[in-house]
Structure 1
C-alpha cells in the first residue's frame, strides 16, 4: 500500500483553497459590538492533517453567516516550538478572535494570555489548556469516552483472546490524546485476560511509532492488540507489522484521514475511531461570534464519535465524518 502523506506546504495550500471554495468573504474586522465582518484567526494543531481541514471547514461555515473572514495559519509540526511563533505573529495582526488547538496544555497558556490582555478573544478547539479560564469557550470531542469506545471495539474484535495490549500515544501534555489513553486504559480493565502494557510516546513521528511497535512485538510475543491515539502512530504501527509480516496483532486507531481510511480498506487496521471535527469547527466558530456580539456563550462543548470498520465504512453515518480538506457544499 502506498502511504498517503501531506506535506505541510501542500496541506496548507489545499486547506486555504478549500476554504475559499466554502465561500470566504472579505471583511473589515472589528470586535467593537458590530454584528459581523469579524477577523477570525484559526491556528490548527498541524498543517498536514485533514482532521484540521475539517475543523477549518466548520469554522468557515460558521463565519460565513456573518460575513467574517477566517485566516488559517498552521504549524508544520504538532509542537509548541512551531505553534508559538505562529501565534505570536497572529497576535501582532490583532484579529478579533483566535480559535486555536493548543499543542501543549501548559506552554500555550502564556502567549494566549498575552492575546487576551490585548483584547483578542480566544476559543479553544480540539485540544485545551491545563487552565482554560482565559478562553471564551472550549470545543472538543469527549476523548475519554472515545477511548473507552476504542477499548470496547478492540475487546470485541479480539473475540476472547488473551495477551498483551500496547498503546502508542502522541506526546505527554496533549489533552486530547492523554484523555484517549485514560479512557482506553479504563475500558480495557473490563477484560482481565488482556494485559495492559501502558503507553509509549511517538512524539508524532511515524518512524518512532514503528520502532516502538517493533521492539514491543519482540519483547512481548503475546502482543495481540495495539491502540493508537493519533494518525501518525497508526501509520507507524502498520508499517512495523507489515515489515514483520505479522497478521496476529489487531490495531484500533484514531484516524479518519485518507491514509486511515485506506488502512481499513486494506485490512491493515481493524477499526478507526472517527471524531467529528467539522462539528467542532462549527461550534467553535459559533461560540467565537457569540462572544464577539455579546450573545450567550457555551463555555464547554463536547462532540461525539463513531467507529469505522470495513463493514460500515461506506455507510452515510460514517462517510459524513471522514476527514477532508474539501469543505462540504453549503
Structure 2
C-alpha cells in the first residue's frame, strides 16, 4: 500500500507497459479456454505501488490465456474518496468483471452493489468488505497470521531485551492492516518482558507516522520495538528514529517489499519486512473471476501466505521471487 511519489498518470503508463510485457505469461491454474474472452477491470488500492503492480501481473497472466483484456485504473491515494469515483466510471463502461482492492470495508459496499445489480461480477483482492457476500470471491493474504509472524520475528530480533512496543497502523477500517495488528497483538501477548502500547493510526500520512513515533519516544524511554503495518508508517518511523538518534536501540519490523522497503533492509534502517505474495493473489483473483464468468466452480475464499525478509535472506530465491514489482515475470 505504498504510494511512491510520482504521478498517477506515469504510474498508469508504467503499469500498462508492465502488463504488455507479460505477453502470454501463465498463472498457476488452467482457468479459461481460447474461446473465453472477457473485459476485466482491475482497481487497485492506490497508484504507484509495486505491490499492486505484482497483483496486476498475476491477473494479466491468467487473462492472457483466454485473450481477455485487462484495464487498470488506480486512485491517487489509498482512500474511498479517490477510489469510489474511479469505480463509478468503471461501472459505466460495463466490464464483465471488476477485480478490486476496496480501500474501506464499508464505504465501497454501496457502489459495488451497484455494479452487481447491473450484472457485473465482482472479485475482491488484497482487501475485503465488512459484508463480502456480493462478491464472487475474496482473495487475500492471511494477514492475521502474517501479523503473528511479524511479532515472532520482532521477539527473535530483540533477543530477550525488554521494553515497550508500538504498532503504527494506517487507518481504521482497512481490513488487511486491521488484521495485521490483530495478529501482531496476539503474537506479542506471550512475549516476556515486552509491554505492548497498542496501535496508533497515521491515516496514510508519513508525517503523522513520524509524529506518532516521536511522541512515543518522548513518553516511553524504554521503547524497543515498532511494528509498522504498511510502508507509509515505516517511512515515518525511520525518519523519527533517525531524528532522535534512536535507530540503534529501536527495532522496526515492517510490511513492505516494494523497492524502498527492500532498500530499508539493505541499509539496516528496518530489521525485517513481512513479504506477502501479491502475484499469487492476482492469479487466484483472475482465475476465480473467469470461473464465475464461465460457470465453472468458484472458490469463495482464498488465502495466500507470506515470507519474512531480512538482510540475511534477502538474496535467496524464496524471497526474491516475491519482491513487489511492476515488471511481470517472463512467460
Q: Give TM-score, length-normalised by structure 1.
A: 0.95
Aligned partners of 2:13 and 2:202: how far apart in 1? 27
Aligned partners of 1:178 and 1:4: how far apart in 2? 22
Deviations along 1:69-108, whole A, 9 cap, x unmatched? 0000000000000000000000000000000000000000
Residue ranges of structure 1 left out of the alignment (5+ in a row): 26-32
Structure 1 residues 109 and 35 mapped into 2: Cα distance closer, same or farther (>3 Å)? farther
Report the more deviating stretch, 7-16 or 56-65: 7-16
Shift of 1:24: 7.7
Question: 1:308–1:318: 8 Å Cα contact kept in structure 2?
Answer: yes
Residue ranges of structure 2 left out of the alignment (5+ in a row): 26-32
Q: Secondary structure at the match of 2:52?
A: helix
Shift of 1:4: 6.7
Aligned partners of 1:268 and 1:155: how far apart in 2? 17
Shift of 1:242: 1.3
Alignment of 1:132-171 (within 5 A): 132-171=132-171
Match of residue 329 from structure 1:
330
Aligned length: 321
Question: 1:35–1:293: 8 Å Cα contact kept in structure 2?
Answer: no
Give me the CA root mean square deviation: 1.6
Structure 1 residues 132 and 13 mapped into 2: Cα distance closer, same or farther (>3 Å)? same
Shift of 1:155: 0.2
Match of residue 118 from structure 1:
118
Aligned partners of 1:4 and 1:78: how far apart in 2? 12
Match of residue 312 from structure 1:
313
Match of residue 30 from structure 2:
none
Deviations along 1:226-254, whole A, 9 cap, x unmatched? 00000111111111111122121000000
Match of residue 76 from structure 2:
76
Shift of 1:49: 1.1
Alignment of 1:104-253 (within 5 A): 104-246=104-246, 247-253=248-254
1:67 aligned to 2:67?
yes
Question: 2:144–2:183: 8 Å Cα contact kept in structure 1?
Answer: yes
Match of residue 291 from structure 1:
292
Match of residue 16 from structure 2:
16
